[in-house]
Amino acid sequence: MKEPSTGLARLTGRRVVVTGAGSGIGKATAMLFAREGASVAILDLNYESAQATAKETGGYAVQVDVSNEDSNAAAIEKAAQAMGGIDGVVNAAGIMIVGPLGEVPVSSWRRTLDVNLTGTYLTVRNCLPWLNQAPDGATIVNIASAAGLLPNAPGLTAYAASKGAVVNLGRALAAELAPLIRVNTVCPGMVNTPMADGFRANVGNYALKRLAEPEEIADVILFLSSLQSSYVTGATLAADGGRSFH
């Protein structure tokens, strides 16, 4: 397992909303950002998990259903008030429903799009008034998936479609929100979280022959949220162990 960074203060003074931060990539990102000096708002549907991450990071726990317009707006308002503004967003909330095309209910298709795509859109939209006021420019990092770049396994129709849409949403946002706000997208391959259960045997399709740890994806998100990537916007970065080219 990757050893956690001790922090280089690369986000000192930054105020960042992280959705899906109760577990997985979102939690690893919130913890890394806190070590790097950021104030973090921990948004998650599971409030107990959000509270646990907030306790570890000194951040602010807020319960949210990112796909619900009212819930999302209220959560972002709480986060902005708690931190005194918002300078960055990491959209890590997501779900994956697996099953053959003819067997997955239309309601599951819609729920997948609602959380993964509409949830990302609503979070950005609701954060926008504060992001536009960020004194040193703002950043948005959306988490898509390698499956959104190259679907290569059965049963992922809804998930791959939603994550492919997140990739193009990021490009459209980057074009619209520049130059004040940089928008980039990260496409992880399989990560060592419960979402990878049932697919771990597919690691042979990866050039690096292993799953990523959540902390490794958090490092990529940190790069795109810091001044180290000050001339990067509209990029889609595949952090997938070589899956999408192998």
* H-helix or E-strand spanning residue 72: helix 69-83
Q: Where are the alpha helices (DSSP H) in 145-234?
A: 157-177, 214-225
User: Roughly how many angstroms between the first and final C-alpha of the chain, as a whole number?
Assistant: 24
Q: Is 121 a catalytic residue?
A: no
Q: Cα separation of 224 and 222, whole Å?
A: 5
My answer on whether omega of the bond before 179 falls inside 30° of 0, hence cis, is yes
Q: Cα separation of 225 and 238, whole Å?
A: 16
Quick one: which of 69, 35, 65 has its CA closest to 50?
65
Q: Note whether 86 and 127 are within 8 A (CB).
A: yes
Q: Cα separation of 98 and 109, whole Å?
A: 10
C-alpha distances in Å from residue 117, one per residue of 25, 193, 199, 212: 17, 21, 23, 23
Catalytic residue of the set 47, 60, 121, 159? 159
Q: Is residue 246 classed exposed, middle or buried when 0-12, 13-18 and 19+ CB atoms within 10 A define those classes?
A: middle
Q: Note whether 167 and 238 are within 8 A (CB).
A: no
Written as one letter, the residue type at 201 is A
Which residue(s) pair with 238 in the sheet? 187
Residues serving a catalytic function are 159
